[in-house]
Amino acid sequence: MAAGHRVARLLLEWYARGHRDLPWRRTSDPYRIWVSEIMLQQTRAQAAIPYYERFLVRFPTLEALAAARENDVLALWAGLGYYSRARNLWRAARVVAAAGEFPRQYDAIRALPGIGDYTAAAIASIAFGLPHAVLDGNVLRVVARVENDAADIASARTRERFRAVAQGWLDSREPGHFNQALMELGATVCLPRNPMCLLCPLAACCQGREAGTAAQLPVKLRRTVTVELERTLLVIRRRGKLLLRQNGPDARRLAGFWDLPTPQELPAARVGERLGEFPHTITHHRYTIVVHAATVRRVGKEYGWFDAAQFGEIPLCTTARKALKLTE
């Protein structure tokens, strides 16, 4: 292994010379850092920024979030994906508000709903200066390349070994900057397809670059199989309002979200003109969504009529938004 303190020094010097000006790097408020880390789970920084800004205007403090209704939190999260993040964030806010203070130790942070190993280490290091190395997709890639390690990163043992490597590199005097620098490197230089080794501060101590294997690392053996599906959505208008159906609170996907009804859910509907279609992907399901106009007599209580002005205030799922855009 390259000497840890050398990696840390090179990384921190590189990071100090310049990095992206992300909004959550302008605060030391644990609540804001927490919100950012939840939004950044499996989400690119650029995609999270507008959601982060809006969320903190609406919920500027942990107490404000804890006092909110779950549906209002979901409405602000609509479009960002992985909605259990929003529900867990809201649940955890209520736990922390009841306790009176944001937890300052790794184990207590890790115990909150929606906070796993990565997020606990990120909050502990960035908000409280605790010496915990983060392990995310960026760090996995940088470690695999610097160490020229072709082990399968889908394996838990490999991930634990890589985390230990990052922990060995960590500069415990500034763990927050170190972790952010390592992730920044993965996000801007040590890119998945085309690592920009000529710009990399770790090039001189990167065994993957030396061996010419960097672009092939890391190795991930497990791969996903995507399934093609088709689904019909109905646009039913009455007196200027649109009919939507709310998923139950225990629905597997998009719980609590409003969506356009389908002919299966609403067999009484009379399906009319075909308005168009669009593609939509959910994890490994690739849908072709076909949109029809329709009419209906009466509907159950899970349905509601909404006008366009309300679409920003409710958790409205992306398929419905896309379908409505189609009909404009």
Partner DNA sequence: AAGTCGGGGCG
Partner DNA sequence: CGCCCAGACTT
Name residues contacting DNA, limited to 161-180 (CB under 7 A): 179-180
Of 261-280, binders to DNA (CB under 7 A) are 280
Asked if 20 interacts with DNA (CB under 7 A), we say yes
Q: Give bridge partners of residue 274 from the DSSP assignment.
A: 292
Taking CB under 7 A as the binding criterion, the range among 98-106, 131-139, 162-170, 236-244 that sits at the site for DNA is: 131-139
The verdict on 246 binding DNA (CB under 7 A) reads no
Residue closer to DNA by CB (options 50, 272) is 50
Annotated catalytic residue 147: no
What is the C-alpha to C-alpha distance for residues 233 and 262, in angstroms, rounded to an integer? Answer: 5
Tell me which of 13, 37, 63, 277 is the catalytic residue.
Answer: 37
Which of 114, 195, 201, 208 touches DNA by CB under 7 A? 114
Of 285, 302, 308, 325, the residue at the interface with DNA (CB under 7 A) is 285
Q: Is 105 in the site for DNA (CB under 7 A)?
A: no
Told to check if 259 binds DNA by CB under 7 A, we report no
CB count within 10 Å of CB 175 equals 23
Residue 22: how many other CB atoms lie within 10 Å: 16
Are β-strands 285-295 and 227-235 bridged in parallel, bridged antiparallel, or unpaired? parallel
How many alpha carbons fall within 13 Å on the CB side of residue 39?
29
**Is cis: bond before 218, omega within 30 of 0?**
yes
Interaxial angle between packed helices 30-39 and 117-128, expressed in degrees from 0 to 180 and rounded to the nearest 10: 150
Taking the complex as a whole, how short is the minimal distance between the CB of residue 27 and DNA, in angstroms? Answer: 12
Q: Give the residue with the Cβ less far from DNA, 235 or 320.
A: 320
Helix ranges (H only) for the chain are 4-17, 30-39, 45-58, 62-67, 70-77, 84-99, 106-110, 117-128, 137-146, 156-169, 175-188, 207-211, 318-327
Rg (C-alpha) for the chain, rounded Å, is 23
Q: Are 145 and 208 in contact (CB under 8 A)?
A: yes
Interface pick for DNA out of 17, 69, 222, 301 (rule CB under 7 A): 222
The angle subtended at Cα 76 by Cα 62 and Cα 95, nearest 5°, is 30
Residue 224 as a binder of DNA (CB under 7 A): the answer is yes
* 116 contacts DNA (rule: CB under 7 A): yes
Q: Rule CB under 7 A: is residue 27 a binding residue for DNA?
A: no
- Interacting residue with DNA among 250, 264, 281, 300 (CB under 7 A): 281
Q: Which residues participate in catalysis according to the annotation?
A: 37
Residues binding DNA (CB under 7 A): 20, 22, 25, 37, 40-45, 47, 78-84, 88, 113-120, 136-138, 140-141, 154-157, 179-180, 183-184, 186-187, 192-194, 220, 222-224, 226, 252-254, 280-285, 317-319
